Amino acid sequence: MERKWWHDKVAYQIYPKSFMDSNGDGIGDLKGIISKLDYLKWLGVDIVWLSPIYRSPLADEGYDISDYYAIDPRFGTMQDMEELIAEAKKRDMTILMDLVVNHCSDEHEWFRRACEDPEGKYGKFFYLRDKDPDGKLPTNWRSYFGGPCWAELPGTDKLYLHVFHKKQPDLNWENPEVREEVYKNIRWWMEKGIGGFRIDAIINIKKPAVFRDYPADREDGLSTVHNMLREAEGIGEFLGEMRDKAFAPYDAFTVGEVFNEKSDELPLFIGENGYFSSMFDFSAEIYGHSEKGWFDAKRIDLDAYKNCIFGAQEKIGDIGFYSTIIENHDEPRGASRYLPDEIRCESSKKALATVYFLRRGLPFIYQGQEIGMENKKIRTVEELDDISSIDAYQVAIDAGISKEKALESLSYHSRDNARTPMQWSAGKHAGFTAGEPWLKENPCYREINVQEQEGRSDSVLAHYRKLIALRKDPAFKETLVYGDFEPVSRDAHNVIAYVRRGDGQAILVAANFNTEARQIALPADADGKPFRGGRVILSGGGSPVIEDGTLHLEGLQSAVAVLE
């Protein structure tokens, strides 16, 4: 596999609205981010992905862009952005922007002009259909955020397609002019000195040749968008063109938000000369997904989590490099999702961090994950901000679920869980703002915050810092970055263990999520002889022991060891 500059790096996702507010208006901003670059550097971060900060009505919190060339005034100015890029560079860090081009905002000039003249140039930027006199919609597709995918094009007798919110009209990628506009924008940002892009919702850009109905999967008579995506052939032409015309000339780093890729597409997406540098491994995040809604999703336990991440590693093999996560701005907190209530504590958070982080792939840390932030309890529907959560609540109620149960499923799944203010200190509003935060902070900030953990060598934060340092340590880097992945004790209940094998080095990564001690038999060396001993190079607490071919882990203990 060809080596790339980013393979041995560590990435960090910032959700700007909730990261750090510099001017007391309750909204995180670019100046706030600049003020925390030293913190990120101290942690060991190299690549920083910013969720969208472009001009936007924020109907979907910035994933609805009304000007791809401007910074939203709530986040700052273009000058602030340039300063951020420069300040990051000074610290050997690079910035990734979020590329949101399946759709724009209905407040984008293109859309406004499409409304004025649907038959003109900009009408062709979108998917427009004539309204049927009987009111029948062109298709029965249900948007990701609820309701039909079709809405009236204001002031006209036409409808437009939106697979997300109605304020996010889909751009018509079949139109070469649309594609050229996208590439022009990518090049413009690359010229500004960013390192590349995280690519939003990209699988949706290709629609099927024929728009048709699919069997309804809920009482509303609509059908999930996934059905139409399954029939959409030929996305590769667009993605290959985007790579060649926009990314390749800059050697941009790109990471795709790819759900539902077809099974033979992996090498095309992230293999040698793939469309993207990397894509997220969402195997655990999508586990248990139900078309009925969040209320019906199956919860994941640690054995299922293990199967997901091991399965993904086996699927990717040497084809390419996944980007690995336990949470992001669309998912609940990893510590709450994967760790059952009874065992959620600093030790188990460190154990989870260890096994997710040292897999093969580029690790991404989502803001607050490094201190073990947790979900917040959602008590009323009024406190929700996220449009998809509001819809999910209604879907549950419509399906006859009690309010209590509906709220419970939101506390588990809601995107707001990850969007509460970053917890910098135990001070007012978690040290995030001097004003009133746009979204209420999670009360757990009093115990879980950066300031408290910075000063403590056994904190979750300290552990993340050690994990990052370990992955970069010249003595282990080759194995931890490029080594093969091989499951160990696969069937052991609530134990997640694997070995990373490099040239002449084998590193065991193991976590015991049981509250009682467990023994893990060491795997064999390259000649098939079982390893007998090893040297622990990182532990999630206590002193794990290796003797007579066995690693002994206390309850909730984790360890990384070079085998001998």
Instruction: Give yes or no for residue 478 binding ligand GLC (CB under 6 A).
Output: no
The count of residues interacting with ligand GLC (CB under 6 A) is: 9
Least gap, CB of 168 to ligand GLC (angstroms): 6
Assigned token pair, 358: 């040292």
Question: Binding marks (x or -) toward Ca ion, 6..25, rule CB under 5 A?
Answer: ---------------x-x-x
27 binds, among Ca ion, ligand GLC, none (CB under 5 to 8 A by kind): Ca ion
Task: Give CA separation, 501 vs 454, 505, 523, 551, in Å.
Answer: 33, 6, 11, 17
Least gap, CB of 38 to Ca ion (angstroms): 19
Q: Whole-angstrom Cα distance, residue 144 to residue 125?
A: 21
**Binding-site member from 63, 122, 295, 445 for ligand GLC (CB under 6 A):** 63
Phi–psi pair at 519, nearest 5 degrees: -110, 135
Q: Strand, helix or coil at 50?
A: strand
What Rg do the C-alpha atoms of the chain give, in angstroms? Answer: 24
Least gap, CB of 62 to ligand GLC (angstroms): 8
The count of residues interacting with Ca ion (CB under 5 A) is: 5
Q: Which is nearer to ligand GLC, 329 or 337 (CB)?
A: 329
Instruction: Give yes or no for residue 330 binding ligand GLC (CB under 6 A).
Output: yes
**Binding-site member from 201, 373, 468, 560 for ligand GLC (CB under 6 A):** 201
Assigned token pair, 380: 């009323």
Q: Is residue 45 a contact partner of residue 12, using CB atoms and an 8 Å limit? A: yes
**Binding-site member from 68, 110, 164, 357 for ligand GLC (CB under 6 A):** 164
354 DSSP 8-state letter: H
21 binds, among Ca ion, ligand GLC, none (CB under 5 to 8 A by kind): Ca ion
164 binds, among Ca ion, ligand GLC, none (CB under 5 to 8 A by kind): ligand GLC
- Asked about 257 being catalytic, the answer comes back as yes
Q: Whole-angstrom Cα distance, residue 247 to residue 454?
A: 38
Which of 80, 257, 285, 391 is an active site residue?
A: 257
Least gap, CB of 75 to Ca ion (angstroms): 8
**Binding-site member from 40, 48, 100, 378 for ligand GLC (CB under 6 A):** 100
Q: Which residues contact 167 (CB under 8 A, 6 or more apart)?
A: 57, 59, 60, 64, 105, 106, 107
Instruction: Give yes or no for residue 29 binding Ca ion (CB under 5 A).
Output: yes
Q: Is residue 529 a contact partner of residue 519, using CB atoms and an 8 Å limit? A: no
Least gap, CB of 137 to ligand GLC (angstroms): 21
Which of 60, 64, 200, 486 is an active site residue?
A: 200
Nearest to 91 by CA among 37, 12, 30: 37
Residue type, 536: V
330 binds, among ligand GLC, Ca ion, none (CB under 5 to 8 A by kind): ligand GLC
Q: Whole-angstrom Cα distance, residue 355 to residue 499?
A: 11
Q: How far is CA 348 from the centre of its chain?
A: 21
Output the residue with the shortest Cβ distance to ligand GLC: 63
Instruction: Give yes or no for residue 199 binding Ca ion (CB under 5 A).
Output: no
Task: Count the neighbouring beta carbons within 10 Å of the beta carbon of residue 272.
Answer: 9
Assigned token pair, 230: 């399954």
Least gap, CB of 295 to Ca ion (angstroms): 35
Q: Whole-angstrom Cα distance, residue 217 to residue 224?
A: 7
Residues that bind ligand GLC (CB under 6 A): 60, 63, 100, 164, 200-201, 257, 329-330
Q: Which residues are catalytic?
A: 200, 257
Residues that bind Ca ion (CB under 5 A): 21, 23, 25, 27, 29
